[in-house]
């Protein structure tokens, strides 16, 4: 009788664990904005340094949970404000040169870069996933002359 109870308990446990996964809907992929350019150590100069206007850059890592939740917020902002600033993002784990140049400390980080050519520099940087209202303020400050 003990074997029967153990087997029944294991069957119920297995069903409770696996049945929801069988009937759940897969997560919809996050729609990426056409206005966010992925930059690397190789194309950073062409995409950021040589760009004439202000640039907002998102540093992320593929393993970072807050980065995953921040991505749609950042991409929606890019859709709304692409005429004001250029939006770029980069994987800090794969592009250590950029990470070093901006003194990356945490993921995600949002950075404003202004200036021309060799005089371009980081003018503001915020660590953590920004709520939409804070990102809007950050964009406005970066877009201002």
Give the burial string for 14-45 (b: 16+ CB within 10 Å, else e).
Answer: eeeeeeeeeeeeeeeeeeebebbbebeeeebe
Containing structural domain, residue 76:
36-143
Residue 103, phi-psi category: left (phi > 0), alpha (psi -120 to 50), beta (remainder): left
Whether the per-residue pLDDT at 128 is higher than 50: the answer is yes
**142 tagged catalytic:** no
What is the average pLDDT value for the chain, to the nearest integer?
A: 88
Catalytic residue, chosen from 48, 56, 64, 129, is 64
Residue 60, in any domain of the structure:
yes
Which comes out higher in pLDDT, residue 137 or 14? 137
Provide the pairing of β-strand 55-60 with 86-91. parallel
23, part of any domain: no
User: Which of the following is catalytic: 36, 39, 56, 67?
Assistant: 67
Is position 13 within any domain? no
If you average pLDDT over residues 124-144, what whole number do you get? 97
**Contact present, 59 and 104 (Cβ < 8 Å):** yes
* Residue 54 burial by Cβ neighbours in a 10 Å radius (0-12, 13-18, 19+): buried
**12 within some domain:** no
Known active-site residue 64: yes
Q: If pLDDT is split at 50, 70 and 90, which confidence band does 90 have? A: very high
* pTM metric for this prediction: 0.78
Position 12 scores a pLDDT of 72
Percent of the chain scored above 90 by pLDDT? 73
Q: How many domains does the chain divide into?
A: 1
Rounding to the nearest 10 degrees, give the CA dihedral for residues 80, 37, 69, 19.
Answer: 120
11 in any annotated domain: no
Q: Which candidate, 47, 65, 48, places its Cα nearest to that of 106?
A: 65
- pLDDT, one tens digit per residue, over 2-48 is 777 777 666 676 566 665 555 544 444 456 899 999 999 999 999 99
Mean pLDDT of 61-76: 97
Instruction: Report the CATH number that the domain containing residue 66 is assigned in CATH.
Output: 3.40.30.10
**CB-CB contact of 72 with 81 (8 Å):** no
Q: Would residue 24 count as lying in a domain?
A: no
Higher pLDDT, 3 or 75: 75
Give me Rg for the CA atoms of the chain: 22
- Residue 1 confidence class, pLDDT cut points 50, 70, 90: low
The answer to whether residue 120 is domain-embedded is: yes
pLDDT of residue 112: 98
Q: Is residue 8 part of a domain?
A: no
């Amino acid at each position: 009788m003990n074997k029967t109870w153990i087997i029944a308990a294991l069957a119920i446990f297995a069903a409770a664990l696996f049945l929801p996964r069988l009937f759940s809907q897969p997560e919809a992929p996050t729609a990426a904005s056409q206005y966010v350019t992925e930059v690397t150590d190789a194309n950073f100069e062409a995409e950021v340094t040589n760009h004439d206007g202000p640039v907002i850059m998102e540093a992320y890592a593929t393993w970072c949970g807050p980065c995953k939740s921040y991505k749609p917020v950042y991409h929606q902002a890019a859709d709304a404000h692409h005429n004001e600033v250029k939006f770029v993002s980069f994987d800090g784990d794969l592009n250590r040169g950029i990470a070093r140049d901006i003194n990356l400390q945490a993921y995600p980080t949002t950075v404003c870069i202004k200036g021309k050519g060799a005089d371009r520099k980081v003018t503001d940087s915020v660590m953590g996933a920004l709520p939409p209202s804070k990102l809007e303020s950050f964009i406005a400050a970066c877009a201002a002359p």
